[in-house]
């Protein structure tokens, strides 16, 4: 599950440039029976199998360093977001513990410095969430992205969703690229992009605006957006009255 994603694109280049080192460990390496068993039936009965505590404890004992941060991937954890990715990118050594099956023995939680979830749903194990955390974190390490401005312009980086992006051709199936992007007027382009980011955030994730740090210009752009939307709603209402 890890080999493909870790050997592609940004993650591959980051490792080739020695900006990050990623190692995958098999819990079976810390078992002591001939069948290398890592799970067992749950006490008290029930469906599924539960990962045993011993391999987790021995693995962390073997891998932990002075600066290690141990993260346990679980639906019960703190919701992962961009701010957490920024904090993780500043740490020198991360250990991700991935559950499977019906989960892990409750005692495994005592190993974790932090429990992390990628959302309110269940996947087959902690491997996919771990890959999400790795990808989101590694790209924030200085030098990983070819353009150092890329990470700063992503959605959530500045507390807002990203503005729309366009490329060639300028017209496709009667869908046109906004004229301002073809104008060469960088000041107007910057203003348009900021306004579109604010508009998109207002419509899709208004909760983000409550936490975002907005400039005086941002406040003015938001006022323009809200005034325009109120006018459109008013015109729509009058149209309904006429009908």
Whether residue 94 is found in the same domain as residue 202: no
86, 121, 138 — which closes off a domain? 138
Confidence band of 154 (pLDDT split at 50, 70, 90): low
pLDDT digits (tens, 9 = 90+) for 31-57: 999 999 999 999 999 888 999 999 999
Q: How many percent of the chain have pLDDT more than 90? A: 84
Is 154 a member of any domain?
Answer: no
pLDDT digits (tens, 9 = 90+) for 182-223: 999 999 999 999 999 999 999 999 999 998 999 999 999 999
CATH number at 209 reads: 1.10.1270.20
What pLDDT does residue 184 have?
97
Q: What length does the chain have?
A: 243
Contact in structure between 2 and 127 (CB atoms under 8 Å): yes
Q: How many percent of the chain have pLDDT more than 70? A: 93
Is 64 a member of any domain?
Answer: yes
Confidence band of 101 (pLDDT split at 50, 70, 90): confident
Give the residue among 214, 215, 198 at the shortest CA–CA distance from 161: 198
Domain total of the chain? 2
Indicate which residues carry an active-site annotation: 75, 102, 139, 154
What pLDDT does residue 236 have?
74
For the chain, give the DSSP string. Answer: --HHHHTSHHHHHHHHTTS-------GGGG--STT---EEPPTT--SS-EE-HHHHHHHHHHH--TTEEEEEEEEEEEEP-HHHHHHHHT-SEEEEEE-BTT-B-GGGGGG-SEEEESSSS--SBSHHHHHHHHHHHHTTSTTSSSSTTHHHHSTTTTSSPPPP---S-SEETTEE--HHHHS--HHHHHHHHHHHHHHHHHHH-HHHHTTS---HHHHHHHHHHHHHHHHHHHHHHHHHHH-
What pLDDT does residue 146 have?
78
Q: Which domain holds residue 83?
A: 3-138
Is 150 a member of any domain?
Answer: no
Greater model confidence, 73 or 241: 73
Whether residue 129 is found in the same domain as residue 195: no
Q: What pTM was estimated for this model as a whole?
A: 0.85
Cα distance between residue 220 and residue 228, in whole Å:
12
Whether residue 18 is found in the same domain as residue 104: yes
The rounded mean pLDDT for the chain is: 93
For residues 122-144, average pLDDT:
96
Whether residue 134 is found in the same domain as residue 196: no
Burial environment of residue 199 by CB neighbours within 10 A (0 to 12, 13 to 18, 19 or more)? buried
Q: List Cα–Cα distances, 90 to 57, 63, 69, 95, 193, in angstroms.
A: 25, 19, 11, 14, 29
* Whether residue 90 has pLDDT greater than 90: yes
What pLDDT does residue 190 have?
97
What pLDDT does residue 138 have?
98
């Amino acid at each position: 599950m890890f080999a493909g994603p870790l050997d592609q694109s940004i993650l591959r280049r980051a490792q080739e440039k020695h900006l990050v080192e990623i190692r995958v460990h098999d819990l079976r390496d810390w078992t002591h029976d001939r069948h290398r068993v890592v799970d067992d039936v749950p006490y008290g009965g029930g469906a599924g199998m539960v990962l045993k505590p011993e391999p987790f404890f021995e693995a962390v004992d073997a891998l932990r360093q002075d600066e290690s941060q141990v993260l346990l991937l679980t639906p019960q954890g703190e919701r992962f977001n961009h701010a957490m990715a920024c904090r993780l990118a500043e740490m020198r050594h991360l250990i991700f513990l991935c559950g499977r099956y019906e989960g892990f023995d409750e005692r495994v939680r005592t190993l974790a410095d932090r429990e992390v979830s990628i959302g309110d749903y269940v996947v087959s194990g902690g491997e996919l969430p771990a890959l999400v955390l790795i990808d989101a974190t590694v790209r924030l390490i200085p030098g990983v992205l070819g353009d150092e401005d890329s990470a700063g312009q992503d959605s959530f980086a500045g507390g807002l969703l990203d503005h729309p992006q366009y490329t060639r051709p300028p017209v496709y199936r009667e869908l046109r690229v906004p004229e301002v992007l073809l104008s060469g007027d960088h000041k107007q382009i910057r203003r348009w992009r900021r306004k579109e980011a604010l508009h998109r955030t207002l419509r899709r994730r208004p909760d983000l605006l409550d936490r975002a740090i907005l400039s005086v210009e941002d406040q003015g752009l938001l006022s323009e957006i809200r005034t325009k939307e109120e006018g459109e709603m008013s015109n729509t209402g009058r149209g309904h009255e006429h009908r």
